[in-house]
Structure 1
Amino acid sequence: MLRAIIKTMRVKQWTKNAIVFAALVFDRQLTNPVAFGRTLAGFFLFCILSSTVYIINDIMDVEADRQHPKKKYRPIASGQLPIPVAIGIAAFLLIIAFPISYVLSPYFCIVAAAYFIINLAYSIRLKHIVLVDVLILSMGFVLRVGAGVSLIHVERFSPWLYVVTYLLALYLGFGKRRAELTLLSATASSHRKVLDGYTIPFLDQVIMMISGMTIISYSLYTFSAPNLPTNHAMMLTIPFVLYGLLRYLYIVEIEGTGNAPDEILLIDRPLQIAILLWGICVLAIFYLF
């Protein structure tokens, strides 16, 4: 039962919540122990909230998941985790998350509540609406960044990072939709209704458009944001971002995978190396020079 609960909470997908640290890192407060502690607490609270959303989503999608070639093995769909138990766990996690969020910061609690409400609306209705489904999921990443900002007193955080975050999330989201169409083929709409409104040629155009916008936005950030070093050293990180975007596109279109970006991040070595090198460069530029 415990293993089924942990699997349903999708602990592996907690990596998505690491973006809460964006404000801490890019505002050069990573070495501030108070700011770090508050952000770390916010990270774990978002992990609890995201796990609650996953549980609710699995409960609502139980019948569709049972028809899916992979999702049918999820604990709720397979019967390993009874639905009444799953409901009780979701309620317990919410009882923990929101009071602690408010104590940590009222503004953080508001952002966390907005994140939960948006994702609840997604699970109930919005995930069935073409384009809106990915737009809403991507908004969740922007709210994570905003949550990190609400936890500390920021002085040098650039709004450009909200734009880049949203575009990158859109890129990954539409890439996931393309991979699902490829994987499920003619039965795609029976597993996820919204896929009936997408086609691979359309998604290819959307992905190419958004990838170009992401690269341009990030490039503009590297030399126009007011908080960056005046020597424009941040521009040195552009090749790593470009490679990461192209690598994900290669995985989706050539290798035919990509339906779970968080899982790809954990197993694809070239992508991991690109992200690691990007992170090292960012830390060096902000904290050593």
Structure 2
Amino acid sequence: MDDAQFFLGATNKSVLIVDLDGTLIHTDMLYETFWSAISARWLNIIPAMRASMNGKAALKRSLEEMGPIDIPHLPYNSDVLDYIADWRAKGGQVALVSASDQRLVQQVADHLGLFDAVCGSDGTRNLKGPEKAKYLQDTYGESNFAYMGDAIADLEVWKYTTKAITVGVSKPLAKRVEALGIPVERLSDRKRPVKPILKAMRPHQWLKNVLIFLPMMAAHQFSAITVAQSILAFVVFSLIASSVYLLNDLLDLDADRAHPRKRFRPFASGELPLVWGTLLTPLLLMTGFGLSLFMGWAFFGVMALYYAVTTAYSFLLKRELIVDICALAGLYTLRIIAGGVATGIPLSVWLLAFSMFFFFSLASMKRQAELKSGQNMGQEKAHGRSYKTSDLPLIANMAVSSGYVSVLVMALYLYSDTVRALYSFPAPLWGICLVLLFWISRMTMISHRGWMHDDPVVFAARDYISIVCAIIIFVCAIVGTMF
């Protein structure tokens, strides 16, 4: 115990003890440092496992050393901050006491400047539950402080307080706190995680998985078995893709919190605890791969390749110049390949060539939109990427030129024997080329002007002109088969 803590405990009867994880911040430092360490270097999981053998406090210290945290951008609980400010305004003193590592707790306290004393786990002692209760009694005396917490482990502390302030606790826990017979104040109730979980899974991104149906549609094979196979493949791809989205969000917490829009994502904002992502990521992955076995080993192999590429993208490829764009384009194309493998429909060279150039264009637009957003914010370099805002003209040229090449491939395809076999009246298909030329040009221009969200596919799904273009393309394809 240092002199400041002893003085605070001995002379002031109006002391508020505030917990950190889940109370002052809408997150947990253990998971924050874990994912930060893994993001920095995935092999960090090995020393973390070794440290865990020496206890939880040792694990926290090890993760703190390997996983730097962006303290200013943590999701702080505004209600708690207001409560602390009000407590201090009335002459009370406040201490931040947490089971998180002392170094992190001190950094938070230094950033906020609201605490008179600070204490956390020290690498040997895990300051949680009974250990925290004992420390607080030794420092401040029994029933000589109010305590603000959020977890069932805090019951051991609330037994010895003059007042319990609960933050986001469940109803059963709230009843147990009230049963202690001390004054209780509830700042907020625990919210159900269903909506944040669905939001984190990004079902709107499943629109990309519609590409799985493209081989079936391009070959005009609409049997019940083919449709069922495509639907199951869509479900599998969506589950595994959502697992990847969760993993990406866990690895990109700092970058997302520094982003004007991504900071509202469930994990970055603290709306959804990181423990949910840590559990759901492998669960969705295993469920998806389990279902993929019903499609055969070839489809399982395609999904394994997809996951390998996306994982490599999350840890490495997204930071590599141009390689990241190629990887994104390849992941789009893998969806088409998955659809072909799932249904047993051979993929034409024309379809693969078109998809390669078209999706390279979309991936370039995505980077263009991100760089434009950064440029508008005065940034010179994209956060977590290898691009500079000065690269914008080149990225824009890549987007539009590869898009135009995909239209050229489409035009050449219209002269192939395949088209004559599938379409009795192929002339309307030229309308598809015109629409694609217009759409690619317009999307590139929108991105250039900074009007596009980061993902062009999501933007197109909400853009009525893009929807009209899709309808026209569909009508052209239908008319080509009617005469």
Give TM-score scaled by structure 2 length: 0.56
Q: Please name the residue that 2:263 is paired with.
A: 72
- RMSD between aligned alpha carbons? 1.9
In structure 2, do the counterparts of structure 1 residues 193 and 250 end up closer, same or farther at CA, with 3 Å as the change threshold?
closer
Q: Please name the residue that 2:457 is paired with.
A: 262
Q: What does 1:91-102 align with in structure 2 at a 5 Å threshold?
A: 91-102=282-293
Within 2, Cα distance between the matches of 1:198 and 1:217? 31
* Structure label with greater radius of gyration: 2
In structure 2, do the counterparts of structure 1 residues 198 and 151 end up closer, same or farther at CA, with 3 Å as the change threshold?
farther
Q: Please name the residue that 2:348 is paired with.
A: 158
Q: Please name the residue that 1:50 is paired with.
A: 241
CA apart distance, 1:230:
6.3
Q: Does 1:252 align with 2:443?
A: no
Letter in 2 for 1:91: P
Within 1, Cα distance between the matches of 2:325 and 2:414? 26
Q: What does 1:93-112 align with in structure 2 at a 5 Å threshold?
A: 93-112=284-303
Within 2, Cα distance between the matches of 1:62 and 1:273? 36
CA apart distance, 1:197:
8.0
CA apart distance, 1:13:
0.9
In structure 2, do the counterparts of structure 1 residues 160 and 62 end up closer, same or farther at CA, with 3 Å as the change threshold?
same
CA apart distance, 1:43:
0.7
Q: Please name the residue that 1:180 is paired with.
A: 370
Within 1, Cα distance between the matches of 2:271 and 2:417? 50
Q: Does 1:238 align with 2:429?
A: no
Q: What does 1:187-202 align with in structure 2 at a 5 Å threshold?
A: 187=379, 189=381, 191-196=383-388, 199-202=391-394
Which has the higher mean CA deviation after the structures are superposed, 107-116 or 251-260?
Answer: 251-260
Q: Please name the residue that 1:217 is paired with.
A: 409
Q: Conserved in 2, the CA contact under 8 Å of 1:102 and 1:109? A: yes
Q: Conserved in 2, the CA contact under 8 Å of 1:171 and 1:210? A: yes
Identity, % of aligned positions:
26
Paired residue secondary structure (1:29): coil
Paired residue secondary structure (1:130): coil
Q: Please name the residue that 1:122 is paired with.
A: 313
Q: Conserved in 2, the CA contact under 8 Å of 1:160 and 1:225? A: no
Match of 1:229 among 418, 423, 428: 423
CA apart distance, 1:204:
2.5
Letter in 2 for 1:148: G
CA apart distance, 1:200:
1.2
CA apart distance, 1:258:
4.4
Within 2, Cα distance between the matches of 1:160 and 1:204? 25
The higher relative CO (CA closer than 8 Å, separation ≥ 6) is in 1
CA apart distance, 1:226:
2.2
Q: Please name the residue that 1:16 is paired with.
A: 208
Within 2, Cα distance between the matches of 1:241 and 1:284? 17
CA apart distance, 1:166:
1.7
CA apart distance, 1:250:
2.6
Within 2, Cα distance between the matches of 1:63 and 1:221? 45
Q: Conserved in 2, the CA contact under 8 Å of 1:237 and 1:281? A: yes
Q: Conserved in 2, the CA contact under 8 Å of 1:180 and 1:188? A: no
Q: Please name the residue that 2:279 is paired with.
A: 88
Q: Conserved in 1, the CA contact under 8 Å of 2:379 and 2:389? A: no
Q: Conserved in 1, the CA contact under 8 Å of 2:400 and 2:440? A: no
Within 2, Cα distance between the matches of 1:106 and 1:21? 19
Letter in 2 for 1:273: V
Within 1, Cα distance between the matches of 2:397 and 2:446? 17
Give TM-score scaled by structure 1 length: 0.92
Within 2, Cα distance between the matches of 1:196 and 1:110? 36
Q: Which runs of 5+ in 1 are unaligned?
A: none
Comparing both structures, which one devotes a greater share of its residues to strand? 2
Within 1, Cα distance between the matches of 2:270 and 2:358? 35
Q: Please name the residue that 1:60 is paired with.
A: 251
Comparing both structures, which one devotes a greater share of its residues to helix? 1
Deviations 1:61-117 (A, max 9, x none): 111111111111111111122222201101111111112101122211111110011
